[in-house]
Amino acid sequence: MADVSSARVAAYLREAILGGDLKPGMRIRQEEIAAKLGASRLPVREALRTLEAEGLTESEPHKGARVPRLSQHEVEVIYRMRERLEPLALLESLPLLGATDHERLEEVQRQIEANDDLEKFLDLDREFHMLTYSGCAIEPLNQNVVRLWNSTQHYRRAYVALGGQNRMWVVNAEHRLILDAVVRRDATDAERFLEGHIRRTRNELAHHPEVFE
Amino acid sequence: MADVSSARVAAYLREAILGGDLKPGMRIRQEEIAAKLGASRLPVREALRTLEAEGLTESEPHKGARVPRLSQHEVEVIYRMRERLEPLALLESLPLLGATDHERLEEVQRQIEANDDLEKFLDLDREFHMLTYSGCAIEPLNQNVVRLWNSTQHYRRAYVALGGQNRMWVVNAEHRLILDAVVRRDATDAERFLEGHIRRTRNELAHHPEVFE
DNA sequence: TGGCACAGGATTGGATCCAAAATCTACCCA
DNA sequence: TGGGTAGATTTTGGATCCAATCCTGTGCCA
Q: What are the sequence ranges of the domains in chain A?
A: 5-66, 72-212
Contact A144 B7 (CB under 8 A): no
Q: Considering Cα of B83, then B89, then B95, then B101, what sign does the dihedral take?
A: negative
Q: Quick one: residue B55, left, alpha or beta (phi over 0 = left, psi -120 to 50 = alpha)? A: left
Give Cα separations from B85 to A37, A43, A188 (angstroms). 38, 33, 20
- Partner-chain residue, chosen from A1, A53, A140, that has the shortest CB–CB distance to B59: A1
- Partner-chain residue, chosen from B1, B49, B62, that has the shortest CB–CB distance to A46: B49
Check residues 6 to 25 of chain A and report those whose beta carbon is under 7 Å from nucleic acid strand D.
6
User: Chain B contacts of A81, Cβ < 8 Å?
Assistant: 85, 88, 140-141, 144
In SS3 terms, chain A reads as CCCCHHHHHHHHHHHHHHCCCCCCCCEECHHHHHHHHCCCHHHHHHHHHHHHHCCCCEEECCCEEECCCCCHHHHHHHHHHHHHHHHHHHHHHHHHCCHHHHHHHHHHHHHHHHCCCHHHHHHHHHHHHHHHHCCCCCHHHHHHHHHHHHHHHHHHHHHHHCCHHHHHHHHHHHHHHHHHHHHHCCHHHHHHHHHHHHHHHHHHHHCCHHHHC
Q: Give CA–CA dist B103/A111, Å, rounded.
A: 57
Burial class (CB in 10 A: 0-12, 13-18, 19+), A116: exposed
The pLDDT value given to residue B64: 94
Chain B nearest-CA distance from A115, in A, is 33
Chain A: residues touching B (Cβ < 8 Å)? 1-4, 6-7, 42, 45-46, 49-50, 52-55, 59-61, 73-74, 77-78, 80-81, 84-85, 88, 92, 138-141, 143-144, 147-148, 151
The pLDDT value given to residue B166: 73
Q: Give CA–CA dist B17/B81, Å, rounded.
A: 21
Amino acid letter for position A88: L
Closest residue in B to A60 (Cα–Cα): B1
Closest residue in A to B45 (Cα–Cα): A46
Q: Give CA–CA dist A14/A123, Å, rounded.
A: 14
3-class DSSP state of B58: strand
Strand C reaches within 7 A of the A158 CB: no
**Is the CB of residue A73 less than 8 Å from the CB of residue A35?**
no
Check residues 33 to 72 of chain A and report those whose beta carbon is under 7 Å from nucleic acid strand C.
41-42, 45, 59, 61-65
Residues in contact with A55: Cβ distance below 8 Å, sequence separation at least 6, in sequence order: A68, A147, A150, A151, B140, B143
Strand D reaches within 7 A of the B31 CB: yes
**Is the CB of residue B11 less than 8 Å from the CB of residue B48?**
no
The pLDDT value given to residue A207: 92
Query: CA of B209 and C1' of D5: distance in angstroms?
Result: 41
Give Cα separations from B48 to A6, A172, B18 (angstroms). 13, 42, 15
Amino acid letter for position A184: R
Instruction: Give pLDDT tens digits along chain B (213 positions).
Output: 447 899 999 999 999 999 999 999 999 999 999 999 999 999 999 999 999 988 899 999 999 999 999 999 999 999 999 999 999 999 999 999 999 999 999 999 999 999 989 889 999 999 999 999 999 999 999 999 999 999 999 999 999 888 766 788 999 999 999 999 999 999 999 999 999 999 999 999 999 999 887
Q: Tell me whether the CATH fold assigned to A5-66 matches the one assigned to A72-212.
A: no
The pLDDT value given to residue A179: 98
Q: Give CA–CA dist B129/B121, Å, rounded.
A: 12
Instruction: Select from A201, A203, A78 the least CA-distant residue to B92.
Output: A78
Instruction: Give pLDDT tens digits along chain A (213 positions).
Output: 447 899 999 999 999 999 999 999 999 999 999 999 999 999 999 999 999 988 899 999 999 999 999 999 999 999 999 999 999 999 999 999 999 999 999 999 999 999 989 889 999 999 999 999 999 999 999 999 999 999 999 999 999 888 766 788 999 999 999 999 999 999 999 999 999 999 999 999 999 999 887
CATH architecture of A72-212: Up-down Bundle (1.20)
Covered bases, chain C (protein CB within 7 Å): 11-17, 20-23
Dihedral angle over CA of B2, B5, B8, B13, nearest 10: -140
Q: What is the ipTM of this complex?
A: 0.91
The pLDDT value given to residue A1: 45
The set of long-range contacts for A162-167, using a CB threshold of 8 Å and a minimum separation of 24, is A162/A208, A162/A210, A162/A211, A164/A204, A165/A116, A165/A118, A165/A121, A167/A204
**Is the CB of residue B13 less than 8 Å from the CB of residue B56?**
yes
- Among A144, A148, A202, most B C-beta atoms within 10 A, so best to mutate, is A144
Q: Give CA–CA dist A181/A177, Å, rounded.
A: 6
Quick one: which residue's CA is nearest to C20's C1'? B62
Instruction: Select from A64, A70, A75, A65 the least CA-distant residue to A24.
Output: A70
Chain B nearest-CA distance from A84, in A, is 6
- The pair phi, psi for residue A64, each rounded to 5°, is 90, -175
Contact B49 A50 (CB under 8 A): yes
The pLDDT value given to residue A165: 63
- Among A133, A138, A202, most B C-beta atoms within 10 A, so best to mutate, is A138
Query: How many C-beta neighbours within 10 Å does residue A97 have?
Result: 21
Give Cα separations from B156 to A138, A144, B95, B110 (angstroms). 19, 21, 29, 21
Each residue's pLDDT tens digit, A59-114: 999 999 999 999 999 999 999 999 999 999 999 999 999 999 999 999 999 999 99
Strand C reaches within 7 A of the B59 CB: no
The pLDDT value given to residue B165: 63
**A5-66 maps to CATH 1.10.10.10:** yes
Q: Give CA–CA dist B144/B125, Å, rounded.
A: 18
Which nucleotide comes closest to A48 if you measure CA to C1'? C12
**Is the CB of residue B202 less than 8 Å from the CB of residue B83?**
yes
